[in-house]
Structure 1
Amino acid sequence: MRVTAERLRAASRPDATTTQPLSTSAADVGILLLRLAVGLLLAGHGAQKLFGIFGGPGLSATGKGFEDLGYSPGVFFAGLAGASEFLGGLGLAVGLLTPLAAAAVVGVMINAMATTSPNGLWAANGGMEFPLCLAVAAITIAAVGPGRLSLDRPFRWRDGGWLSAAVAVGLGAIGAAIVLALK
């Protein structure tokens, strides 16, 4: 039997029954740190809105604040924003359904930027630099992928790509547009 380059490559590929050891690269650790920092900060902000923990005002007080910003009914929109931050943040932190988690974050951050845009990019009373950075971080995580140290490890979007980034941006923008239109 003649040995060809293709047969050698096929023989060196693991089949479905072979398990490969988890090799951790600096990139895997780096994206994990980014996911944890961004995701847990967002989840904390969402928890402040929804549950009143971490010094947050809770849903009814946050709802009044949303009413003052023109979102009516305020409690509904506060709950939507809080849930998007909480669930999207947790999804990013653990690397679960990463393109959808990033879309939730992008959507709520577009609304945050729309609300803070009259203050400009940098402002002591709340500019749009913080929501912009969080949105870009979420898109970056979707584009690069959550990496091998994530719950998305078995799925192909673990490695990110244009489709994952497009899902994050597209669904986030559609969600934000719907909320802004209903505002």
Structure 2
Amino acid sequence: MKHLVKILLETNPTIGFVIARSTLGLVMFPHGAQKLLGLFDGNGYSATMDFFTTQMGLPSLVAFTIIIIEFFGSIALILGFISRFWALSFAGMFVGIIYTTQWEHGFFMNWFGNQAGEGYEYSLLIIGLALSILVNGSGKWSMDSLISKKQ
């Protein structure tokens, strides 16, 4: 058990990983808040679940997991709490997004509204930030760092 805690919480104590996890958390928080709470002109939990399960055809568990990862995962990343777990969750989620909705539209985002959907360039940036956090941990000024020092 102690070895697992070490793997999850030990971190590279540089500021660069604080920037990576904070950026990912701050960018993803509004998306999670839209889906769970209806903030930032979002539809809230019920409507989001309905959209994911009815219109997109995702299983309820997958839809629920997406909402949880985006909301609670973003907060945890901002705080630097179990960042490797949440980074892996975001990377996996965005690989799924590329596979299910973006791959067919190519690399570029739909900047000018002339594509049928979004490309996957934004998702690759999210995956890159997440992998950086996964490999190196939360960085300085994180709950992970505080907890691992007490172990």
Query: Are the structure 2 counterparts of residues 120 and 91 from structure 1 closer, same or farther at C-alpha, using a change threshold of 3 Å?
Result: same
Counterpart amino acid of residue 65 in structure 1: F
In the aligned structure 2, how far is the partner of 1:49 from the partner of 1:97? 22
User: Residues of 2 paired with 1:34 and 1:55: CA distance?
Assistant: 26
Larger Rg: 1
Q: TM-score, normalised by structure 2?
A: 0.74
Residues matched between the structures, number: 128
CA change 1:144–1:64 in 2 (3 A) is same
CA offsets, 1:84-125, max 9 Å, x none?
111221222111111111122122212211121111111313
Match of 1:38 in 2: 24
Give the corresponding residue for 2:86: 101
The percent of aligned pairs where both chains have the same amino acid is 30
In 2: Cα distance, 1:149 partner to 1:98 partner: 12
Find out whether 1:77 has 2:62 as its counterpart: yes
Whole-angstrom CA distance in 2 between matches of 1:72 and 1:145? 31
Aligned-CA RMSD value: 2.0
Helix, strand or coil at the partner of 2:109: coil
Q: Which residue of 1 aligns with 2:130?
A: 138
Corresponding position: 1:149 with 2:141: yes
Which ranges in structure 2 are unaligned for 5 or more consecutive residues?
Answer: 1-12, 111-116
Q: Distance between the aligned counterparts of 1:94 and 1:119, measured in 2?
A: 35
TM-score normalised to the size of structure 1? 0.62
Aligned-pair distance for 1:145?
2.0
1:70 partner amino acid: G
Instruction: Kindly indicate whether residue 76 of structure 2 is the aligned counterpart of residue 91 of structure 1.
Output: yes
The amino acid of 1:83's aligned partner reads I
Instruction: Give 4+ residue runs of structure 1 displaced > 2 Å after superposition.
Output: 76-79
Distance 1:123 1:148, change over 3 A: closer
Q: 1:54 aligns with which of 37, 40, 47?
A: 40
CA shift, 1:64, in A, is 3.2
Correspondences of 1:1-20 after superposition (within 5 Å): none
Q: Match of 1:133, as an amino acid?
A: L
